[in-house]
C-alpha cells in the first residue's frame, strides 16, 4: 500500500467581508454585504451576521436588501483583497512549495514532504497556518486536513467558521455517509436531482447503490461518484497549474450607449489587465473582448496577435478594433457589461545583454511602479478619465 499523502485545504472565512470589518472596526458584527446596491449588482460576499438572514454570494443585492433591510452594503475593493491574499499565500509558501490556489482566499497544499519539519504531524502544520495567517492579517482561516483533496476540503467546510478539522482514514465513512449527496465534488444540482429520483439522498446510500443500476441511470459519471462516496480521490495538488487567461470586466448600472463611452471603459479595463500580465510575467497571443447587450445577450470577439505581448497599448489597440467592429455591426448597440482579456500565454523571452529597452515597455513599467506606490489609477491614459463615473461593478 502506498504511503498516504498529507493534504491541507485552507479557506478564508467570509474573506472580502472580513477584510472590510478589519479595515472598518465599527462594521464588525453588523450584517455586511460586499456589493453595491443596484438593479444589476450581486453579492460578492456576505458576513456571517448577514448570512443568518439567508443572504448568499451571487444573490442580487436588491434581493439581499429585502431579506435584511438593515444590512450595510459596501463596494468591492479588489486591489485590497489581492493585497491580503498575497500575505496569506506567503504563509502557505513557508510550509510547502506544492500549492494549488483555487481563488484569492482558498488553496490546497500538499505537505507530505514537510511533515518531518513539523514532527510528523499534519495538525502542527495546520495550526501554524491558522496562527500565522491570523497574526499577520487579523483574519480567520478554516483549515481542513486529510489524505486527499476531497476529504481535506470537506473537513474545512464542515468545521467553518474558524474551523480546524482532520479526517483520519478510519473516520471516512462515519463522516461521509450521513452527508447529502450534493456535497460531493462533481455532483451538481442536475446530478443531485438524478440521484434523488433513484432514492439516493445521502453519500452512504450512493456508496451502497447497485453499480449497474447507477450506470444505466446516470451514465459514465456513476463510477466516479461511487469512488468519491468511498472517500477515494487521487487528484494531485497541482502547483504547476498556470493561469489560462487574465481579464477584467465591468457591469454598468446604466447601459453604455455611445462608442466613445465604451472605448473609454475599455481603456480602463485594458490598463488593469496589462498591469496584471506584467506582474505575473505573462505575455499572451489572443485578445478577447466580452460584450453583453441588455438584458443578457453575451457576445465574445477574439483577435490573434502576431507575437506574444504584455503591452497595454497592444492589448488596447486589439480590443478597440474588436469593439468597433461589433459596434458597427449592431443596429442599436448598447452595453450592460464590457470586458477584455488576454490568453494563450507564451514564456517571456529573456532580453539580450545589449538589447535596447523597448520604449512602450518602459512606459508600462513606469506606470506600474507609480500605481503600485500611490494606488491604482494614479497614472492613467487620458481617455480613461471619461469613464470615471460612479456605478460600475467591477471584477
DSSP string, 220-287: THHHHHHHHHTT-------TTPPPSEEEEEEEEEEEE-SHHHHHHHHHHHHHHHHHHHHHTT-EEEEE
pLDDT band for position 294 (50/70/90)?
confident
Q: Are 205 and 183 in contact (CB under 8 A)?
A: no
β partners of residue 33: 46, 73
Provide the pLDDT for residue 187: 86
pLDDT band for position 391 (50/70/90)?
very low
Is the pLDDT score of 359 beyond 50? no
pLDDT band for position 2 (50/70/90)?
low
Edge-to-edge strands, sheet with 393-394: 297-309, 283-293, 335-346, 245-256, 393-394
Beta strands in 89-172 (DSSP E): 99-103, 106-110, 141-146, 164-166
Is the pLDDT score of 392 beyond 50? no
Provide the pLDDT for residue 368: 60
pLDDT averaged over the chain?
86
Q: Is 364 within any annotated ligand binding site?
A: no
**Is the CATH number of domain 173-229 3.90.226.10?**
no
Q: Which fold does the domain 1-166 belong to in CATH?
A: Alpha-Beta Plaits (3.30.70)
pLDDT band for position 375 (50/70/90)?
very low
Is the pLDDT score of 220 beyond 60? yes
Cell digits of residue 63: 434581493
Is the pLDDT score of 353 beyond 80? no
pTM of the model: 0.69
Provide the pLDDT for residue 242: 59
pLDDT band for position 352 (50/70/90)?
very low
Provide the pLDDT for residue 254: 85
Provide the pLDDT for residue 245: 77
Query: Is 106 a catalytic site residue?
Result: yes
80-89 average pLDDT score = 90
58-71 average pLDDT score = 95
Domain boundaries defined on the chain: 1-166, 173-229, 245-394
Q: Is 11 within any annotated ligand binding site?
A: yes
More confident of the two residues 280 and 300: 300
Provide the pLDDT for residue 354: 40
Widest pairwise Cα distance in the chain: 71
**Which among 98, 106, 132, 393 is annotated as catalytic?**
106
Architecture label for domain 245-394: 2-Layer Sandwich (3.30)
264-281 average pLDDT score = 88
First to last CA, the chain: 46
Provide the pLDDT for residue 177: 97
More confident of the two residues 124 and 250: 124
Amino acid at each position: 500500500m502506498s504511503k498516504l499523502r498529507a493534504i491541507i485545504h485552507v479557506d478564508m472565512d467570509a474573506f472580502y467581508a472580513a477584510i472590510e470589518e478589519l479595515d472598518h472596526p465599527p462594521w464588525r458584527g453588523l450584517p455586511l454585504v460586499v456589493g453595491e446596491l443596484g438593479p444589476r449588482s450581486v453579492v460578492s460576499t456576505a458576513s456571517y451576521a448577514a448570512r443568518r438572514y439567508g443572504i448568499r454570494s451571487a444573490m442580487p443585492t436588491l434581493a439581499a436588501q429585502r431579506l435584511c433591510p438593515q444590512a450595510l452594503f459596501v463596494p468591492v475593493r479588489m486591489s485590497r483583497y489581492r493585497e491580503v491574499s498575497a500575505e496569506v499565500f506567503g504563509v502557505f509558501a513557508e510550509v510547502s512549495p506544492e500549492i494549488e490556489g483555487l481563488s484569492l482566499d482558498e488553496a490546497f497544499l500538499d505537505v507530505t514532504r514537510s511533515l518531518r519539519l513539523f514532527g510528523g504531524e499534519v495538525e502542527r502544520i495546520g495550526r501554524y497556518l491558522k496562527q500565522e495567517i491570523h497574526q499577520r492579517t487579523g483574519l480567520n482561516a478554516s483549515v481542513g486536513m486529510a489524505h486527499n483533496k476531497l476529504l481535506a476540503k470537506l473537513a474545512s467546510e464542515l468545521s467553518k467558521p474558524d474551523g480546524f478539522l482532520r479526517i483520519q482514514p478510519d473516520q471516512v465513512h462515519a463522516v461521509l455517509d450521513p452527508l447529502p449527496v450534493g456535497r460531493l465534488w462533481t455532483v451538481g444540482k442536475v446530478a443531485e436531482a438524478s440521484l434523488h429520483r433513484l432514492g439516493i439522498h445521502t453519500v452512504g446510500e450512493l456508496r451502497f447503490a447497485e453499480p449497474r443500476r447507477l450506470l444505466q441511470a446516470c451514465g459514465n459519471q456513476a463510477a466516479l461518484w461511487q469512488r468519491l462516496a468511498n472517500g477515494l480521490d487521487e487528484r494531485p495538488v497541482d502547483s504547476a497549474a498556470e493561469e489560462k487567461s487574465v481579464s477584467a470586466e465591468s457591469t454598468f448600472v446604466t447601459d453604455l450607449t455611445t462608442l466613445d463611452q465604451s472605448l473609454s471603459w475599455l481603456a480602463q479595463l485594458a490598463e488593469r489587465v496589462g498591469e496584471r500580465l506584467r506582474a505575473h510575467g505573462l505575455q499572451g497571443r489572443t485578445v478577447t473582448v466580452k460584450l453583453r447587450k441588455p438584458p443578457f445577450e453575451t457576445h465574445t470577439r477574439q483577435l490573434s496577435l502576431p507575437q506574444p505581448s504584455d503591452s497595454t497599448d497592444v492589448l488596447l489597440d486589439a480590443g478597440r478594433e474588436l469593439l468597433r467592429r461589433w459596434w458597427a455591426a449592431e443596429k442599436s448597440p448598447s452595453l450592460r457589461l464590457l470586458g477584455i482579456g488576454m490568453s494563450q500565454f507564451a514564456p517571456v523571452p529573456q532580453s539580450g545583454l545589449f538589447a535596447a529597452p523597448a520604449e512602450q515597455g518602459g512606459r508600462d513599467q513606469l506606470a506600474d511602479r507609480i500605481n503600485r506606490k500611490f494606488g491604482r489609477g494614479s497614472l492613467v491614459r487620458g481617455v480613461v478619465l471619461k469613464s470615471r463615473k460612479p456605478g460600475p461593478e467591477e471584477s
